[in-house]
């Protein structure tokens, strides 16, 4: 799926209608979840039938498009299935038992309940919530896609306004031109001092967007808290302070994501094989001293964009276990114990390097060996160093090429 997003500027009655549609979606989701909790063992069909009962019982639910109500049920099903999957996989800690939603921010339509204008610059929502017509503000032209390719339309509320998203059935690989293989491989070791250090000795500085804006965020949070009145209806000044606080957080999150996307795209376009660490970020953030810095550096988001761009441009992204990559010597393989404060790797074999660069080389070696085993299993008679030979071109006896390059 390919998502196009456009900014819209609704008027006050339209804002009220959008918020009412979002609340209705939340109501349906929570009612279906309660139905599942009270009737263990019910399946997908029973939940959708209960949705039909809700539409017959509540008039405000009937006003929302039937497909939008179905997507609310689908959200409940995703939460339930995720919980069961975590139980089957025996995930450590909490399994993610489905919870009731309080602050839903979007309403999603399928192929009905909305209509594009002839020039495709306006969209009209046709259900009885009376949301009305919006002008689509954005740089991407939706005229490149056929109407039957649009599978979902979502109205999304953010701190800086409202957006309309189109989910288009499209393979991202069809939207880019083929890239000439660079015949290069790289291993990257993410960290807190640097955003990452690679196996060639290069580093990417850690921008620390949250840390840079932390004083402003704390000040905005104090201003918001001073205007909060417990047990009473909140004033307009509180809502304004809350809006300012949310806008600052939104700015930080957007800065972080754009930075991660830019770095991931640069790595994908300049390398054929990227090896990274398969980190358990969920467990790492439990460290009280480092949790804020780990959340700020966005390791999980970085890996997601690496894998997305890798699939889009036909490059290979491999995640390997991070165990002992910082302690092992990339030259001789012996273990050199180091604390977090030790930033230089010094081995008895005479090899001296930056701690993160040494770890990145170990990560690359581990990734090459793993991909080599995969190809060996596929062809049966190739050495585990095949990928390195293809990338560096030093073995002329190999006449087969990896289909990934």
- Please write down the HEC assignment for all residues of the chain: CEEEEEEECCCHHHHHHHHHHHHHHHHHHHHHHHHHHHCCCCCHHHHHHHHHHHHHHCHHHHCCCHHHHHHHHHHHHHHHHHHHHHHHCCCCCCCCCCCCCCCCCEEEECCCCEEECCCCCEEEECCCCCCEEEECECCCCHHHCCHHHEEEEEEEEECCEEEEEEEECCCHHHHCCCCCCCCCEEEEEECCCEEEEECCCCEEECCCHHHHHHHHHHHHHHHHHHCCCCCCCCCHHHHHHHHHHHHHHHHHHHHHHHHHHHHHHHHHHHCCEEEEECCCHHHHCCCCCCHHHHHHHCHHHHHHHHHHHHHHHCCEEEEECCCCCCCECCCCCCECCCCCCCCEEECCCCCEEEHHHHHHHHHHHHHHHHHHHHHHHHHCCCCCCHHHHHHHCCCCCCCCCCCCC
Query: Which residues make Cβ contacts (< 8 Å) with residue 383, sequence separation at least 6?
Result: 372, 376, 389
Q: What is the pLDDT of residue 93?
A: 81
Residues of the chain with pLDDT under 70: 372-405
Instruction: Using DSSP bridges, classify how beta strands 2-8 and 150-158 pair: parallel, antiparallel or unpaired.
Output: unpaired
Q: What is the pLDDT of residue 404?
A: 37
- CATH number (2.60.40, 3.30.420, 3.40.50, 3.10.620) of 185-210+243-392 reads 3.30.420
Where exactly are the structural domains of the chain?
A: 2-170, 185-210+243-392
Instruction: Give the count of beta carbons closer than 10 Å to the beta carbon of residue 289.
Output: 6
* Residue 130 backbone zone (phi > 0: left; psi -120 to 50: alpha; other: beta): left
Half-sphere exposure at residue 270, Cβ-oriented, CA atoms within 13 angstroms: 10
Q: Which of 162, 121, 168, 166 is nearest to 21 (CA)?
A: 162
Please give the Cα distance from 352 to 349 (Å, whole number): 9
Q: What is the pLDDT of residue 373?
A: 60
Supply φ then ψ for residue 275, to 5 degrees: -110, 125
Q: How many residues does the chain have?
A: 405
- Which tokens sit at 163? 């957006």
């Amino acid at each position: 799926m390919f998502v196009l997003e456009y900014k819209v500027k609704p008027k006050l009655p339209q804002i009220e209608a959008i918020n009412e549609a979002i609340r209705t979606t939340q109501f349906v989701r929570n009612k279906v979840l309660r139905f599942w909790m009270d009737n263990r063992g019910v399946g997908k069909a029973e939940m959708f039938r209960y949705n039909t009962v809700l539409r017959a019982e509540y008039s405000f639910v009937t006003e929302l498009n039937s497909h939008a109500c179905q997507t609310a049920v689908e959200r409940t099903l995703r939460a339930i299935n995720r919980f069961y999957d975590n139980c089957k996989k025996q995930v450590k800690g909490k399994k993610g038992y489905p919870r009731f939603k309080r602050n839903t921010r979007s309403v999603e339509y399928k192929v009905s309940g909305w209509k594009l204008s002839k020039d495709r610059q306006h969209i009209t929502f046709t259900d009885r919530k009376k949301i009305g017509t919006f002008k689509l503000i954005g740089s991407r032209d939706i005229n490149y896609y056929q109407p039957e390719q649009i599978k979902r339309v979502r109205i999304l509320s953010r701190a800086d306004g409202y957006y309309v998203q189109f989910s288009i059935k499209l393979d991202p690989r069809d939207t880019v031109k083929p890239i000439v293989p660079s015949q290069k491989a790289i291993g990257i070791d993410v960290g807190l001092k640097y955003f990452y250090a690679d196996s060639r000795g290069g580093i990417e500085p850690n921008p620390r967007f949250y840390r840079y804006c932390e004083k402003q965020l704390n000040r905005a949070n104090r201003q918001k808290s001073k205007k909060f009145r417990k047990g009473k209806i909140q004033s307009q000044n509180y809502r304004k302070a809350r809006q300012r606080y949310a806008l600052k957080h939104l700015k930080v999150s957007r800065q972080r994501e754009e930075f991660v996307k830019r770095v991931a795209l640069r790595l994908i376009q300049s390398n054929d094989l990227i090896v990274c660490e398969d980190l358990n970020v969920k467990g790492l953030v439990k460290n009280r001293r480092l949790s804020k810095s780990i959340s700020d550096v966005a390791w999980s988001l970085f890996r997601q964009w690496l894998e997305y761009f890798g699939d889009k441009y036909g490059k290979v992204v491999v995640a390997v276990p991070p165990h002992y990559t910082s302690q092992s010597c990339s030259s001789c393989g012996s273990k050199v114990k180091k604390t977090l404060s030790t930033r230089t790797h010094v081995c008895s074999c005479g090899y001296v390097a930056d701690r993160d660069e040494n770890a990145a080389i170990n990560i690359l070696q581990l990734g090459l060996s793993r991909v080599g085993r995969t190809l060996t299993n596929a062809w049966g008679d190739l050495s585990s160093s095949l990928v390195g030979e293809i990338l560096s071109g030093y073995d002329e006896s190999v006449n087969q090429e990896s289909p990934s390059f």
